[in-house]
Amino acid sequence: MIEALQPRTCKTTMNVIVDAFYKWYRNKVSNPKYRWLIIGGTLLYLFSPFDISPDFFPIIGWIDDGAVLVLLTTELTRLLMEYRKDRKDNNINPPQEEIVDVEATIS
Protein backbone atom coordinates (compact mmCIF):
# COMPACT_ATOMS: atom_id res chain seq x y z
CA MET A 1 0.00 0.00 0.00
CA ILE A 2 2.84 2.38 0.86
CA GLU A 3 4.58 1.55 -2.43
CA ALA A 4 1.53 2.76 -4.35
CA LEU A 5 1.72 6.13 -2.63
CA GLN A 6 5.38 6.72 -3.49
CA PRO A 7 5.92 8.93 -6.54
CA ARG A 8 7.26 7.22 -9.62
CA THR A 9 10.43 8.35 -11.23
CA CYS A 10 10.45 9.52 -14.82
CA LYS A 11 12.23 6.36 -15.92
CA THR A 12 9.64 4.00 -14.43
CA THR A 13 6.81 6.11 -15.84
CA MET A 14 8.34 5.93 -19.30
CA ASN A 15 8.80 2.16 -18.94
CA VAL A 16 5.13 1.80 -18.02
CA ILE A 17 4.09 3.91 -21.03
CA VAL A 18 6.35 2.01 -23.42
CA ASP A 19 5.18 -1.36 -22.06
CA ALA A 20 1.53 -0.31 -22.36
CA PHE A 21 2.03 0.84 -25.94
CA TYR A 22 3.90 -2.36 -26.80
CA LYS A 23 1.14 -4.56 -25.37
CA TRP A 24 -1.53 -2.54 -27.18
CA TYR A 25 0.39 -2.79 -30.45
CA ARG A 26 0.93 -6.55 -30.10
CA ASN A 27 -2.67 -7.29 -29.16
CA LYS A 28 -4.66 -4.91 -31.36
CA VAL A 29 -2.70 -3.40 -34.21
CA SER A 30 -0.27 -6.21 -34.97
CA ASN A 31 -2.91 -8.23 -36.76
CA PRO A 32 -2.28 -9.51 -40.31
CA LYS A 33 -5.50 -7.93 -41.58
CA TYR A 34 -4.21 -4.47 -40.56
CA ARG A 35 -0.70 -4.99 -41.93
CA TRP A 36 -1.23 -3.37 -45.33
CA LEU A 37 -3.10 -0.51 -43.70
CA ILE A 38 -0.14 0.13 -41.39
CA ILE A 39 2.38 -0.10 -44.23
CA GLY A 40 0.37 2.27 -46.42
CA GLY A 41 -0.23 4.70 -43.58
CA THR A 42 3.41 4.85 -42.58
CA LEU A 43 4.53 5.41 -46.18
CA LEU A 44 1.92 8.14 -46.58
CA TYR A 45 3.08 9.79 -43.35
CA LEU A 46 6.77 9.63 -44.29
CA PHE A 47 6.24 11.16 -47.73
CA SER A 48 3.59 13.72 -46.79
CA PRO A 49 4.63 17.30 -46.02
CA PHE A 50 2.68 17.25 -42.73
CA ASP A 51 4.28 15.98 -39.53
CA ILE A 52 3.30 15.69 -35.89
CA SER A 53 6.43 17.66 -35.08
CA PRO A 54 8.00 19.62 -37.94
CA ASP A 55 11.43 18.55 -39.11
CA PHE A 56 12.98 22.00 -38.78
CA PHE A 57 13.27 21.39 -35.02
CA PRO A 58 16.63 19.56 -34.96
CA ILE A 59 16.04 16.42 -32.87
CA ILE A 60 12.41 16.61 -31.85
CA GLY A 61 11.30 16.79 -35.47
CA TRP A 62 13.11 13.59 -36.37
CA ILE A 63 11.81 11.48 -33.47
CA ASP A 64 8.33 10.98 -34.92
CA ASP A 65 9.77 10.10 -38.33
CA GLY A 66 12.12 7.62 -36.69
CA ALA A 67 9.28 5.97 -34.76
CA VAL A 68 7.19 5.65 -37.92
CA LEU A 69 10.19 4.28 -39.82
CA VAL A 70 10.73 1.65 -37.11
CA LEU A 71 7.04 0.68 -37.36
CA LEU A 72 7.33 0.37 -41.15
CA THR A 73 10.50 -1.70 -40.91
CA THR A 74 8.91 -4.00 -38.32
CA GLU A 75 5.84 -4.65 -40.45
CA LEU A 76 7.82 -5.22 -43.64
CA THR A 77 10.17 -7.60 -41.83
CA ARG A 78 7.25 -9.58 -40.45
CA LEU A 79 5.65 -9.74 -43.87
CA LEU A 80 8.88 -11.00 -45.43
CA MET A 81 9.46 -13.57 -42.66
CA GLU A 82 5.92 -14.95 -43.02
CA TYR A 83 6.36 -15.16 -46.79
CA ARG A 84 9.65 -17.04 -46.43
CA LYS A 85 8.15 -19.38 -43.84
CA ASP A 86 5.14 -20.15 -46.03
CA ARG A 87 7.37 -20.73 -49.02
CA LYS A 88 9.66 -23.02 -47.04
CA ASP A 89 6.68 -25.00 -45.69
CA ASN A 90 5.32 -25.44 -49.21
CA ASN A 91 8.67 -26.70 -50.51
CA ILE A 92 9.11 -29.23 -47.71
CA ASN A 93 5.78 -30.91 -48.26
CA PRO A 94 4.91 -30.51 -51.94
CA PRO A 95 1.45 -31.76 -52.85
CA GLN A 96 1.55 -35.39 -53.86
CA GLU A 97 -0.13 -36.26 -57.12
CA GLU A 98 -2.19 -39.40 -57.17
CA ILE A 99 -0.79 -42.02 -59.51
CA VAL A 100 -3.28 -44.29 -61.22
CA ASP A 101 -2.12 -47.47 -62.97
CA VAL A 102 -4.13 -48.24 -66.07
CA GLU A 103 -3.87 -51.40 -68.16
CA ALA A 104 -4.79 -50.91 -71.76
CA THR A 105 -5.95 -53.83 -73.88
CA ILE A 106 -6.51 -53.87 -77.59
CA SER A 107 -9.47 -55.90 -78.72
Average pLDDT over residues 4-19: 68
Number of alpha carbons in the 13 Å side-chain half-sphere of residue 79 = 14
Q: What is the pLDDT of residue 95?
A: 60
Give the per-residue pLDDT at 89. 80
Flag whether pLDDT at 3 surpasses 60: no
- One-letter amino acid at 6 equals Q
DSSP summary character for residue 32? G
CB 55 within 8 Å of CB 46 = no
Stretch 6-28: mean pLDDT:
71
- As a whole-number percent, the residues of the chain with pLDDT over 90 amount to 1
- Please determine, for residue 80, whether its predicted confidence score (pLDDT) is greater than 50: yes
Average pLDDT taken over every residue of the chain: 77
What is the structure's pLDDT at 1?
47
User: What number is the average pLDDT over the span 62-79?
Assistant: 86
- Report the 10 Å Cβ neighbour count for 77: 10
Domain residues of the chain, as ranges?
A: 32-86
Mean predicted confidence (pLDDT) in 34-44? 86
Name the amino acid, one letter, at 85: K
* H-only helix segments in the chain: 2-5, 10-24, 35-47, 60-92
